[in-house]
Amino acid sequence: MSESDQNLNMNTVSVAPKKSLVMRLLSLLIIAAGIAAFFALGLNKYLSFQALSEHREFFTTWTAENQVQAAVIFVAGYCVMVALSLPGAIWATLAGGFVFGTVVGGVYVVTGATLGATAIFLIARYALADFFRSKTGSSIKKMEAGFNENALSYMFVLRLVPLFPFWLVNLVPAFLGVKMRTYMIGTFFGIMPGSLVYASVGNGLGAVFEQGGTPDLGIIFTPQILGPILGLALLSLVPVVYKRIRRGKSATPGA
């Protein structure tokens, strides 16, 4: 190999990490810029019960006349909102149920949320996973091994139980090396029960508007709703328990 070829290889090696760092910082900068623009333009004012009440006639009329465009805009908007971890997702979910109905609106919410969550998952894995691993050391490897052994079951639990912040569950699997397919399946089906609950609340907002009241956002924590959801979460842990029982039997002498 000639001296010029060696110099070229050395330059390529030195430039590659710089380009990678630049791209990582750029992806984070885009997210920060999107969040700043959201609040600077005052778009957060439109994600409220008051805004939904004031513009309800426009939403229903325009959606009825432009069903395809309305569906695309809603899913895309929900995707961006989740990808940027913006507040107000619950009001967007209510709006989806109010405008599109419980089932259709719920499906649109789940679709947009899954796409947005996958986007921030990929960005976090690309831009922050290496830094996170370097700071946590070997402890993250043990956690990663335990989580990925039953990744889909754990994803269902994290998505089903309404105690874990949605934005946090979007990020943690990226640091634990969860496969994107597993992440998307766990997210899509895991958030479906809660999304349908709030979409059904949104579907009944017409009566709430007429009475001048406000929707019950704590409905998901009532025993009638929370009980079945927690039941699904426990059911998703059955494979984990089964594996541990089998492992315990195989480790028993004479088993």
Tell me the whole-structure pTM to 2 decimals: 0.82
Q: What is the pLDDT of residue 2?
A: 52
> Taking a C-beta distance cutoff of 8 angstroms, is the pair 225, 219 a contact?
yes
Q: Which residue reads 């325009």 in tokens?
A: 62
CA 38/CA 49 separation, integer angstroms:
18
The answer, yes or no, to whether residue 14 has pLDDT greater than 90, is: no
Q: What is the pLDDT of residue 134?
A: 73
CA 234/CA 162 separation, integer angstroms:
14
Once rounded to an integer, what is the mean pLDDT over residues 76-82? 95
**Which pLDDT tens digit goes with each residue over 166-204?**
988 999 899 888 999 999 999 999 999 999 999 999 998
Once rounded to an integer, what is the mean pLDDT over residues 151-178? 90
Q: Residue 104: which of 115, 93, 114 has the closest Cα?
A: 93
Detail the DSSP E strand segments found in 19-80: none
| Residue 99 in tokens | 């405008």
CA 190/CA 235 separation, integer angstroms:
12
| Residue 185 in tokens | 């399946």
The answer, yes or no, to whether residue 116 has pLDDT greater than 70, is: yes
Once rounded to an integer, what is the mean pLDDT over residues 100-114? 96
